[in-house]
Structure 1
């Protein structure tokens, strides 16, 4: 075992950007994305005088560049907990969309708002789904990245969202495993928009910088399927644990990690050949198979903390079945769980009727509608409602995550503080680390340990709010 601290109980978070559009029955009244965003965030701005807030469940809700609503989950320390808070973001945005449609109708504008949890719009603009994993400061991120990159560029085999590729000068239209594979250009970089690396090295730990580092992964697709999301995060979690624990992993360092990521996305057989830095070669599928073999052995010795080992066995089971499906070409054992498999099957039903024309507008419509999160409208929510795809969590647990912050991390303190202040109408300011009372006198607490869900200093802040409750006006 190495001397690096093993974070079996690991803080994790996901940032999801959504695409928005609106369709009006009035041909002379078309809303731009900027206008849709203003209606969507109107209740937020009216209540908080800002379109960038932290919510009572500990998450961050804001309007990102390009009129993209974004939800960054509260800090979570287990896999299913993170899934619940990621899905809670869908619920919160759907509620805002419902309010926006009512406001538009009140103004005589008959409009339907659509929210897409995907990563590429109709003209090729990309927006992301970013994963965040806490790692120890003693880990050198670039060294860590060298071990992670072979896994990351091949991970699309198991958790890509799938999409139809448009015809370009070098490629015919067809099916891609990943929406993000064509959008990233570097393996490791401090940039996020200019070069779009797989792993971002910008040093923002949102905690004690002497102890923690935040590994920011921006290559992943947004997932509609709960089991696919669990596989994406769970497999990455297992690999991070093994690296920190000094497990003897196969040497899969690549000569040029980024060079084949687009080729892998176009090959559902996983047979893309990758050049190893040591001079050999390996297929994309083999990278995943070797990583899975190590993870399977690791489950027998990992400390059973954070995400329960039995839950990670579910991850490994799905991982195994998906790799077997790729190897054999028989996807029947995963066609209710893996995003790109579900979508590809759906597209092929239409493709056969359309003469095999991948460029047909009907296919593009199906591709986009798959990612519409609005219940009763989106194709994937419809499949879910009809029991045609499998779940990992439940509506009840997701609904609970909308209302309350995780009980086991720093987010609990933030959520408690926000909820208490809102009840009293008290002026406060919050971010990932700071809780601040703005009046009658400034009081602030800095929370540098993301694992800490109890803090006497926060209790004192709540007492201060109660002591001055009569000074905050009506609420």
Structure 2
């Protein structure tokens, strides 16, 4: 398997209205979604998403939380008022979902099968948000968006990853072997933040934006009592075959290499766990406290204490996962596969740089690149970490606008290692991946926009002209509905009625 598995990224964007710090973020987020939707002829309504198979309170540990005790933010399956602009919801022709997730606009990428695909369609989301901001700029003062995870005032919002796993894998094994990896992973893919603590109350700079906001090791919540391992059991696929691992601990990445490593190394560790090939128990004592200690140390020299008494740096612990993955790939013969080899090459390269001198990884790792810029300002203007200028630079780093965002300006100047050609990213804004069910979802929306009533990850509901009933097309198998399976059919059928009839005759290959 290597790095290949069904995966995707959900990114909530920070949002602000210049000169109006108390503006309602839900209303602003609705404006973002509707502005983009209107420009592309899409009606941004809550009812455009099919909630039939959602179960946000089902726990992987074998129980379901009662709705009466759940925090309102967990009830993501409630429809609300279909005309409420704060509940705007769009399914895009690239198979992604663009909607209001509480106080933020969120872009949820379509399902892909490689880390490179995940980076491509995640970057496509940046262009979607950039276009929305540009369209809203016509109505001053305009809404602005930031691809980050903390506002520096105590609020944090997520960049979540999703990985499809075998249902047969014991969840206890996932918790045991993935927790140490997540505690250490931030040194490769943290995005950096000015200030220590949830509200940046202490001066300093840290590796990851999200680490200070985590409170428990395992749990169902995502907005409070945040856990290192999230237990939400909502596979959006055939439930007796698949488990969707919902990862809430990552940062939003701008650097291609860091984003690739975030998805790729996690997929490789999941492969180890599924295969029972974890040969070294790296259980960390006090993982939540250790997570934050590592984030607070840009020198990467903090020692983690393992349950067996060993003490390792985060980089040394990641080397152990690298070595186990390398041994697994040698045993299976998958090490030479293109996408897997790419991840392993960058994993080795970045760990080598972090071990020698973290600042040498500025072209590949977000937190290092940001620290390099901030330190230059500090040195030139003799600034302390408490300086408001540094906090402003931190926010400006993630501004989605090409002429304002510091990362975007530095990218244009060639300061970072680019893995994804710009043309591929531009195509991904409107075109879906071709090797998952996202292809069928996206192409249906492109070809029959007036007939698609609602969609979700695992279904499409269409209205057939001349009939009073709606027709629901289930898509429970993520690797069906691909271009190879339905591409010719979607190109040839004249209307949605012919599509449904052809699918029925073919045994519903979607």
TM-aligned CA deviation for residue 329 of structure 1: 2.5
CA 1:364–1:170 in structure 2 vs 1: closer, same or farther (change >3 Å)?
closer
Partner of 2:77: none
Distance 1:265 1:85, change over 3 A: same
Residues 304-323 of structure 1 mapped to structure 2, 5 A cutoff: 304=334, 309-323=337-351
Task: Tell me the distance in 1 between the aligned counterparts of 2:35 and 2:137.
Answer: 12
Match of 1:444 in 2: 472
Q: Deviations over 1:37-91 (max 9, x none)?
A: 343233356531411121111011101111x110111010011111111111111
Cα distance 1:95–1:167, how it changes in 2: closer, same or farther (>3 A)? closer
Q: Does 1:199 align with 2:229?
A: yes
Aligned to 1:329: 357
Aligned equivalents of 2:432, 2:147: Cα separation in 1:
23
- The corresponding residue for 2:441 is 414
2:508 is aligned to none
> What is the aligned length?
449
Alignment partner, residue 60 of structure 1: 97
Q: Measure, in 2, the Cα distance between the counterparts of 1:205 and 1:60.
A: 17
CA distance in 2, matches of 1:416, 1:407: 10
Q: Under a length normalisation based on structure 1, what TM-score does the superposition of the two structures give?
A: 0.87
Aligned to 2:393: 366
Which TM-score applies when normalising by structure 2?
Answer: 0.82
1:69 correspondence with 2:105: yes
Q: Map of 1:102-141 to 2, 5 A cutoff?
A: 102=138, 104=139, 110-141=140-171
State whether residues 9 and 160 of structure 2, in contact with CA within 8 Å, keep that contact through their aligned partners in structure 1: yes
After TM superposition, give the deviation of residue 280 of structure 1 in Å: 3.7
Q: Which segments of 5 or more consecutive residues in structure 2 lack a partner in the other structure?
A: 46-87, 501-510
1:121-155: CA deviation from partner (whole Å, max 9, x where unpaired): 13120000001011000012232121011111111
Taking the aligned partners of 1:269 and 1:468, their CA distance within structure 2 comes to 58
CA distance in 2, matches of 1:400, 1:408: 15
2:302 counterpart (272, 277, 280): 272
Q: 1:252 aligns with which of 269, 278, 282?
A: 282
Q: Deviations over 1:321-341 (max 9, x none)?
A: 332333333633x22111111
Deviation at 1:33, TM superposition (A): 3.2
Which of 403, 406, 417 does residue 376 from structure 1 map onto?
403
What are the within-5 Å matches in structure 2 for residues 74-223 of structure 1? Answer: 74-102=110-138, 104=139, 110-166=140-196, 172-223=202-253
Distance of 1:393 and 1:10 partners within structure 2: 19
CA distance in 1, matches of 2:15, 2:273: 39
Kindly provide the CA deviation profile for residues 247-294 of structure 1, in whole angstroms up to 9, marking residues without a partner as x: 243111123322211101111233323332234433323211211222
Deviations 1:349-397 (A, max 9, x none): 0111332400111111111111112111100000011112111101100
Return 5+ residue gaps in structure 1 as ranges.
1-5, 105-109, 470-475
SS in 2 for 1:151: helix
Separation in structure 1 between the aligned mates of residue 183 and residue 171 of structure 2, nearest angstrom: 17
